[in-house]
Structure 1
Amino acid sequence: MHHLVEKGILERIGKGIFKIGKNVVFNPNLDKKTKTIYNKIKSSFPFIEFCIWNTSVLNEFSLHQSNKHFTLIEVEKDSAESVFLFLKDQNHKVFFNPNAEILERYVFDASNPIIVKFLVSEAPLQKIKNYNTISLEKCLVDLYCDKELFSFYQGKEKQTIFKEAYHKYTINNTKLLRYASRRGKKKEIENYIQQINIQ
């Protein structure tokens, strides 16, 4: 099996589960501004776990191209507020775990806002050139769970994003459902994937 995966004949989509085809990994684009923010945080908080990404990466999968994007910085719980205050001192337009009202009134109308929120433990992350960012499995689960945060991407749009993501890239369902379980939504997301006929 390992030999067939290496040759690109099979791709691994879960623990002991394979399908015919080559493994295609999702590598979210991190622009210069995002990398600069990451480097500042890493320099000031070298030992904390955090990840960074921008919602513009969702345009690759969505039907309607949104021009309202924000940068998400997810930080381990004990350090999240410190990172928020650090970014605030740097004069960034930053919000800490905003609720639905704050999102609607301030975040979505702001220009290039930053949201700092808690990083769920054991979230599936990936490193791209030393930058800790999201995996596609994490992105899809968060899109499903955080309906207020991703309000632009709900309904038919969410369905399109899921289908396009599965069509374009290799998604490890074991990893996705393990994270969904961490977020208390495993059965819901499992049913949703079946309901929209992805597999």
Structure 2
Amino acid sequence: MSVLRCTRIVIVQSELGPRLLDMSSMLEEIDFSLLLTDDVEEELSRCPTGVAVLPALNELQVGRVSEVAERFPLASVIGVVHEAEGYRTREVIQAGAVLAMNVLIPIEEYREALRTVARRCEEMVYWSSVKKSGDRSYDGEFLGLRDEGEIRLARLLCSFKTTVEIADALFCSERSAYRRIRSLYVACGVRNRSELRELAARSGMARVS
């Protein structure tokens, strides 16, 4: 099975099947296919960049979410909760899941969130190929940049962090982060984040973090 095809598979723990009956048709709309299994880890070993949907209804299951997320860093792990307070949702995200789906909320409400997960999967395939090609991390010059602040920002942009997370990492406002990012694009001769990543990959300098 090709890596790209694996990206389009949502691996669901079998016991969740009845809870996610409406999920299959929605996944088809965004070019995903659903796979029910009793052994999510086994399927992820075949499709390391796939999506794994696991129950997270209690602390033991949240612990498993954490274990799977750590063991398969290229996978997009989703935890399924059943609560009204939001406490378990926070636990699931802290455990390393990219999304927490609450069965009390209509599945249609997660359509855009799943599209975002799909984009993340595609990025994981890209960075997986970069790593296989032999990436390097440099303490000094990076993409022709010499300023430590610019180098750090470039590395953050080559990670999977959102702009908000990058702003937090730089201890600045989101607006300031956008301004610094635009300046960096000009310095590197690129127009957007995708082009920066392509430049980093071609240079063999991409850092995945």
Give the alignment's TM-score, normalised by structure 1: 0.28
Structure with greater helix share of residues: 2
Structure with greater strand share of residues: 1
Give the alignment's TM-score, normalised by structure 2: 0.28
